[in-house]
Structure 1
Amino acid sequence: MSRNDWTLSPEHVDLRRPAVEPRPVEVGALPQRLTLDLSRTALVAVDLQNDFCHPHGWLASIGVDVSGAAGPIGALAAVLPELRAAGVPVVWLTWGTRPDRANLPPGVRHVYDPDGASTGIGDPLPGGSRVLQLGSWSAGLVDELVPEPADLHVAKHRMSGFPDTPLDSVLRNLRVDTLLFAGLNTDQCVYATLVDAANLGYDVVLVEDLCGTTSPGFCTDATLYNVRQCFGFTTTSAELRAGLDT
Structure 2
Amino acid sequence: MTDRDLVPLGAFAQNAWSVSAAEVSLVRARDAARPVTLGDRDRKVTLDIGRTAIVVVDMQNDFCHPQGWLAHIGVDVAPCRAPIAPLQALLPMLREAGVPVIWLNWGNRPDRANLPPSVLHVYDPDGRSTGIGKPLPGNGAHVLEEGSWAAAVVDELAPAPGDIAVSKYRMTGFQDTELEAILRNLDVTTVLFAGVNADQCVLNTLTDAVARGFDAVLLEDCSATSSPAFCMEATLYNVRQCYGFVCDGADLRAALEAGA
- Provide the TM-score with structure 1 as the length reference: 0.98
Report the counterpart of residue 99 of structure 1 in structure 2.
110
In the alignment, which of 179, 185, 188 is matched to residue 167 of structure 1?
Answer: 179
The equivalences for 1:101-180 within 5 A come to 101-126=112-137, 127-180=139-192
Amino acid at match of 2:79: G
Give the whole-Å Cα distance in 2 for the aligned partners of 1:150 and 1:32: 34
Larger radius of gyration: 2
How has the CA–CA distance of structure 1 residues 31 and 161 changed in structure 2, closer, same or farther, with 3 Å as cutoff? farther
Runs of 4+ in 1 over 2 A off after TM superposition: none
Q: Deviations over 1:95-121 (max 9, x none)?
A: 000000000011111111112111100
Maintained 8 Å contact 2:86/2:250:
no
- Structure 1: segments with no counterpart, 5+ residues: none
Maintained 8 Å contact 1:180/1:207:
yes
1:222 partnered with 2:234: yes
Report the counterpart of residue 47 of structure 1 in structure 2.
58
SS of residue in 2 equivalent to 1:25 = strand
- Structure 2: segments with no counterpart, 5+ residues: 1-7
Give the whole-Å Cα distance in 2 for the aligned partners of 1:221 and 1:19: 38
The equivalences for 1:3-18 within 5 A come to 3-18=14-29
Give the whole-Å Cα distance in 1 for the aligned partners of 2:61 and 2:98: 27
Q: Deviations over 1:133-176 (max 9, x none)?
A: 00000000000002111111100000000010000000000000
Q: How many correspondences in the alignment? A: 246
Maintained 8 Å contact 1:31/1:234:
no
The equivalences for 1:49-68 within 5 A come to 49-68=60-79
Q: Deviations over 1:16-36 (max 9, x none)?
A: 012222111111124731111
Identity of aligned residues (%): 59
- Provide the TM-score with structure 2 as the length reference: 0.93
- 1:216 is displaced (CA, Å) by 0.3
In the alignment, which of 82, 85, 93 is matched to residue 93 of structure 2?
Answer: 82
Maintained 8 Å contact 1:45/1:92:
yes
How has the CA–CA distance of structure 1 residues 90 and 45 changed in structure 2, closer, same or farther, with 3 Å as cutoff? same
Maintained 8 Å contact 1:30/1:228:
no
